[in-house]
């Protein structure tokens, strides 16, 4: 889609915000109809970058606890550029670990230095503060290609 890295970050933020209000639906990625946290990131990718880079693997709501595999981290390493969590910028993908010793299993997109958009089980896609509770659980961050 061209443009500068900053323009791309602006498109990523705008697209994430366009998903606000989309109901939570496990494994879904359809703006306005349903999405989980990964579905939100997948939808932003499609809108800004085009086709998704790989097929969606099967996963259950408890996949991280059941398998212990760092599937989200591994996918991020394959398709995104790692960023130090201390250097996150709007447009970056954030991965969260809910408890020590378990894989990261929640994703969000940073939209301002203090706010993120995410899909949370039992709710809709929303913009929320990157509050201390979230910051303590922030495990990894990534930039989209070209951002």
pLDDT one-digit tens code per residue, 97-146? 988 888 898 999 999 999 999 998 889 999 999 999 999 999 999 999 99
Distance CA 133, CA 135 (A): 6
Domain boundaries, the chain: 5-143
pLDDT one-digit tens code per residue, 42-100? 999 999 999 998 888 777 666 555 667 788 899 999 999 999 999 999 999 999 998 88
DSSP states along 39-80: HHHHHHHHHHH-S-SSPPPP--TTHHHHH---HHHHHHHHHS
The pTM of the full predicted model, rounded to 2 decimals, is 0.93
Query: H-type helices in the chain, by residue range?
Result: 5-18, 37-49, 63-67, 71-79, 132-137
Is residue 1 classed exposed, middle or buried when 0-12, 13-18 and 19+ CB atoms within 10 A define those classes? exposed
Q: Report the pLDDT value the prediction gives residue 139, as an integer from 0 to 100.
A: 96
What CATH superfamily is the domain 5-143? endopeptidase domain like (from Nostoc punctiforme) (3.90.1720.10)
* Torsion sign over Cα 104, 69, 102, 28: positive
Count helices and strands (H / E) in the chain: 5, 8
């Amino acid at each position: 889609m061209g443009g500068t890295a900053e323009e791309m970050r602006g498109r990523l933020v705008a697209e994430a915000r366009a998903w606000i209000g989309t109901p939570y639906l496990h494994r879904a990625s359809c703006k306005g109809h349903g999405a989980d946290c990964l579905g939100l990131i997948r939808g932003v990718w499609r809108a800004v970058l085009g086709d998704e880079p790989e097929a969606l693997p099967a996963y259950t709501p408890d996949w991280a606890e059941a398998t212990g595999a760092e599937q989200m981290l591994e996918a991020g390493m394959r398709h995104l550029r790692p960023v130090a969590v201390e250097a996150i910028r709007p447009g970056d993908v954030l991965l969260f670990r809910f408890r020590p010793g378990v894989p990261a299993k929640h994703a969000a997109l940073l939209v301002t230095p203090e706010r993120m958009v995410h899909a949370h089980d039992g709710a809709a896609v929303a913009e929320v503060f990157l509050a201390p509770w979230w910051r303590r659980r922030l495990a990894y961050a990534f930039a989209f290609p070209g951002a």
